[in-house]
Each structure stands twice: as C-alpha cells, then as structure tokens.
Structure 1
Amino acid sequence: MEKGQVIIFPTDTIYGMGCQLYDKVALERIYEIKKRSHDKDIPVLVSSIVQINVIAKYDSKALRIMQNFWPGPLTLILQSTPDFYNKTGDKTIAIRIPDHYVTIELINNFGPLRTTSVNISGEEPLNKIEDIRKQYGNVVDHIYGEHVGHYIGIASTIVDISNGSIKLVREGAIPFEDILAVYNK
C-alpha cells in the first residue's frame, strides 16, 4: 500500500475501508468517499497489544478486557498517547485487534490501519463483494475480495473506557453485559 491509497478488505466482522495510520491524504479520501463528518473519528486496527502502547494509554481494567475479547469484534475507545495526539490532534482513539488472517497480514505489512465500514455514512454497510466492487471499484485503490475467510456480518461492539468509566457507544457482535462483567471483575 502506497501513501495516499485507500483499500477495502475483509475483517472478522464486516468489510473495512482503510488506510495507513498517519496517512492524512488517504484519510481525507475516506471521509470524502463515505461522506462522513470529520467530527466522527475513524477507528484503528492493530495486530497486537504491543502496537497499542505507541498510540494509546490504558489501565489494568482495559488490559483485562483486551485479553478477554481480543482478537475479536470489540472496539475500545482509549486515551491517546501524547505522540499520537501530536500527530493527529485526537485526544482519544478507537482501537481493535481483528480476528481475520487477511486483516492481520495487512497490518503486519503496513502497520496499524485506520478502518471504517464500507458504506456511505448512515447507510447499512455493504458486505457482498459484488456490491462493494460495483459501488467502490473505481473509487478505491484495491479491493481484497478474493480471499475466503470468516466474518460474522455484524459490526463490532464499541465501548468507551477513556475516562476511567465504561460506556456503551454501539451494540454489536459482543453483548455489553459480557464486557461489563469482565470490566467489573
């Protein structure tokens, strides 16, 4: 993946549209393609907890949640590290470790990926590769659709734990009660 490129690829939940973590040109393209408001940040996919240490701060409760649910369909909103904040202006960051070999291989090759669903903001995500190719084939730089893999077709659950408490942002593949039980252990 070269600088400025936007790709579409399968994840363990739904197809993702993404770019390299600090690629501002490609990130802006994603906002334009999706017609997404700039006040909605785009989450980051990483391949290991070690990668998180450079971009986010977390406590023992957050680590316990990570160890219980990752890799998998849970996105955590955490406080940004000073370095990440200085590079992006984002005080918080939504992070996830997916459970899909294609996604992990992309991350291992290109580093953490800013990733969002494949759709126009507010519409249902596209999950059939034929529909994705038809709508986005001429808009993005590459579509990784030839890979057969598992995905559940439901977006990840998003939980905000950036301020010392836990808050459900979006119900998804993992029930909030399950996450809450681990958080309160």
Structure 2
Amino acid sequence: MARYFDVHPQNPQPRAIAQVTELLRQDALIAYPTDSSYALGCRIDSPDGIERIRRIRNLDDKHHFTLVCADFSQFGHLVQLSNSAFRAIKAATPGPYTFILPATSEVPRRLAHPKKKTVGARIPDNNVVRALLAELGEPLLSSTLLMPDDEEPMTDGWQIKEALDHVVDAVLDAGDCGLEPTTVVDWSAGYPEVVRVGAGDPSRFE
C-alpha cells in the first residue's frame, strides 16, 4: 500500500517532505503535485523507476520523460543550451513549461530519446516540489500522471491513492493543482517549436 502524506500547498510540513525524500532515496516511486498537474516521480538513477512509470502509463520507449529541476543551475547540468535558448528559458522559469533539449553526459542514456538523444527538462513553480527537490538535492525523473484511458490527469490525492495504491510507494497530496499539463517547447533543432500548448503562455516561444 502507498503511504499517504497530506501537506500544505504553500508551506509543506518539513517532516513530511523529509519522509518522502527518504522514500525516494530508497528507490520509491511517488505521485506528487506540480504547478500544472500531478505527476509520477522517482530518482534519476532509480533502477526500475522508469519501467514502473512506463507500465503504469503504458508508454513506449519514444516517450520523453521529464527531468524536474530545483533551479537553473541543475537544469544547465542536464541539457545543452545555446545562448538564445539560455536567455529565453531563464526568463520563462520557474513556470509550467517543459523544454526538449539535447541531453548532456550527466543524463543516463536510458533516459534520453533513443534516436534524438534529447530529454525534457523543467523548473516548476510549486512550493511542494521546491521543498522536495531542496531536501533531495538532485532532480527528479518525472512524467505527468495521466492514465492510459484518461483524457485528463487525476487531481485528487485520495483518488490517486485509491487508483495507484499497489503500484506507487507514496502519494503527496497538496490539494488540487490543476488539470492543464505544461506547455512543451522543443528546442532540439536550435530554435523553439511549441509542440504542446498547456498551462504556460506559448506566445513567448512562437
């Protein structure tokens, strides 16, 4: 059964954040809130986290997973940035955007797109995620909590626990964080291409 943590959305309880972080260090897969919707997350070097997410969401090996970063310093270690990408992305973060960029050598090969060698990365504007990332001290491997037969992500913590009780290790509930996924901007060709319009204003990249 998944452990359930009810936290304040603006001032998450440090003890709960520490407990969830300890579970992550023990190779846990968690459901947690972001600034766009709930997501599934685990450590980047989790031995089986990525496969567990694939099974839950029924994803193929072409799916872009997202590396969720605490700040731009972490972000820059994971993706290759041109000067123009650096300026534009720095101005738009933190926020509800995911950027697809060439992965650096810091990213395990199994996490990058098999052909393009790209990865999604983002810096969310959400106090619970910020607290979690600060306590963990490293980025999270993440994927929107959108089930195979659903059109929208789940938004209720208890609903998530009931649905995923035996396939995730913990549910971090901070209340409704919205349904709209991130706006996805593919910068892998050297210029921005909006490939999904979501919660972030796409006009700054069009």
TM-score bracket for the superposition, by shorter chain length: 0.7 to 0.9
CA distance in 1, matches of 2:49, 2:109: 19
- Aligned partner of 1:81 in structure 2 is 104
CA distance in 1, matches of 2:26, 2:62: 23
- Aligned partner of 2:164 in structure 1 is 136
- Identity in percent: 26
- Aligned partner of 1:34 in structure 2 is 57
Q: What amino acid sits opposite 2:132 in the alignment?
A: L
Change (3 A) 1:158 1:134: same
- Aligned partner of 1:6 in structure 2 is 29
Q: CA shift at 1:5, angstroms?
A: 1.2
- Aligned partner of 1:24 in structure 2 is 47
Q: TM-score, structure 1 length as denominator? A: 0.87
Q: CA shift at 1:28, angstroms?
A: 1.0
- Aligned partner of 2:139 in structure 1 is 112
Consecutive unaligned residues in structure 1, runs of 5 or more:
181-185
Two-structure CA RMSD over aligned residues (Å): 1.9
Comparing 156-165 with 88-97, greater Cα deviation is found at 88-97
CA distance in 1, matches of 2:147, 2:103: 27
The superposition leaves residues 67-122 of structure 1 with CA deviations (integer Å, 9 ceiling, x where unpaired) of 22111101111111133255745411111100111111211222101111113236
CA distance in 2, matches of 1:88, 1:9: 20
CA distance in 1, matches of 2:57, 2:109: 26
Are the counterparts in 1 of residues 40 and 143 from structure 2 also a CA contact under 8 Å? yes
Consecutive unaligned residues in structure 2, runs of 5 or more:
1-23
Corresponding residue SS for 1:39:
coil
Tell me if 1:103 matches 2:141. Answer: no
For residue 95 of structure 2, the aligned residue among 72, 77, 96 is 72
